[in-house]
Structure 1
Amino acid sequence: MRRLLITAALTGCASLSLPAGPTLQADAAQLTLSGRVPATTVLQTAVKAKTGCAAAPAWKQRKTRFGISLGSNGGSSMGQDLKAEQKRFGTRIPVVRTWDNTLPMRTSWSVKKKWYGKRWVVNTIRIAPRTVLSGKYDKRLRTYFRTAPRKTPVFWNYFHEPEDEIRAGKFTAKQYRKAWRHVARIAASFCRSNLYPTLVLMGWTADSRATPTWTALNPGRRFVSVYAWDPYNGALGDATHYERPAKIFRPVVKASKKMNRPWAIAETGSVRVPSDTSGTGRAAWLRKVAKYSRRHHAVFVTYYQSTRNGDFELRRRPEIPVWRKAMG
């Protein structure tokens, strides 16, 4: 405890998990008697940290990075998936999209750090809003954020694509927003500038005809660093042609800019349409996706390497070289 308080006084950014009240005052008094730190300085710094840490650190880079969604097919660990995808593409994968449907995580951050290294990580935690709001998972959430990587961006997301659950009546948009803010405040308590809260919604939700609307799900830009989306060329694997990326992505870019925040693509993909037996059409589409994303300064774009709901997986030429070049 004393070490934490000294660090707070010297750096001006204390962990918000410091206890308030008599315990904090007693430790401050002991530090004062030792002649190391004035009690008023410790207390004022702790209070400042509680109110001064941004819930959504600003993302300022403008160069787009491309990557892969891992763990989509099941059966193997994300570390094994990453190794397999790197072998498939023959290059380092700069961004990995991952999921944790339980807390504690199935695999701890201490192990995942060895897999991911300095790659950007886009990671989802998925807990029912009612459970989050009950406070039952607060300790586990603090462990999740406390042990997360420190030297690379972590674009964390709470409950990606909640639209189906809301339409099914499992929880409301209001409960979702409140739970999101609750998780974001816990993350902010660590004053970590590399933890970027990233809202991930279906690409369709940016359409004005969507139910629920994306604005109903938006916890507010004060709690979101990046607005990310999952737009597909035929999300159910039923594409009959390759739609222009501008038409697919324009609504999500517009919605993100409305909030004065950067945008990203957490998942995208397309099956080979029936007439594209050689794959040259999908390769051309991927090239256009990369070009559009760079031109409009997406933060990241990860491709959905999966056979779930359709064969989106890239396995061979001519498509593999296109995405390898984007990642390179």
Structure 2
Amino acid sequence: MASSEDATRCIVPAVTSRFAPRQHPADDALRRHTLQFCETRFNTVARGKYDAAAGGYAEVGGRFVSLLYPEGEEERVQVASLLMLAWVLVDDRIDASLDTDHINRILDELGDAVWLKTPAREPEYHIIADFFGRSDWEPGTLRRCRSGMESYIDGTRVWRAIEITEKPITVDDYMNIRPDNLGWDILLPLHSYVAPAAAAEHRAAESTDTYRAIYRDTGTCVGIALDLGLVNGIRDNHTAWTNIDAILHRSAPKGRSHQDAVDEAIALFHGLEERIKANLTALESPFPSAAAGLRNVYAGSIAWIHELRGRRYAAVDT
């Protein structure tokens, strides 16, 4: 990562949620499946494209989906774990580049894989195309998840352009773009694939203002947790300009330190969780399954980031 100003002097404590995570009953089996897949196939795919050790890919697949989708059907959760591996590798390659043409080629190939437009040229896109080409999709859920991946592609084009050109942005800009850029619009509706009985309710919930507010706030909180995990990080990513701490530091009055910005980001995280709690309660009455699924994806994401501090992300400071 390209470090923010004074990043080495910052103390970044654990960023944990008030919402308790759950894990899938088949957590051990999901982890073993990912480890085997990495050892037999995926580490070879990642080699030469990104540092597999720094990427922590053995923890990206099974453990990630176990925490996000604890009520999902085991077979569907397992195949979703392979999507996560390939997609995170694609995302890592994007974050490690400052070449706009290269980034756009990666995103174009990702879109082709999602929509099965052309035969995939590289193995990670084969994995993604295999997932979106499965026969067990309900058509409405497939359309929704594909559109969610398009949101990621569009948001990432915008986000990387801001990073490369060092365009000034506000916290409000961050809250509007960062959730799409981190893939929130695919991670949430993917619940409808792994738990198809909840699909109709989830789509109905999405049309409400309450859901949209939760989407923005939870996606922002996940972005904050991810960004703070990169402040003192070792991965060779070019994301410092758009990290929440850097945005807050640039907008702060003269004399405020980078540490003050980190502390402000943590305060923003906990303040947003107050609003998330109220909105989840409001959503729960008409849409209990959707609210539970959203809570699980959010709490699981924050827990997973925390678990990988010291591995994929910088260690927790005490």
TM-score band, normalised by the shorter chain? 0.3 to 0.5
Bigger RCO (CA 8 Å, 6+ sep): 2
Looking at secondary structure, tell me which structure has more helix per residue.
2
Higher strand share: 1
Larger radius of gyration: 1
TM-score if structure 1 supplies the norm length? 0.32
What's the TM-score, normalizing by structure 2? 0.32
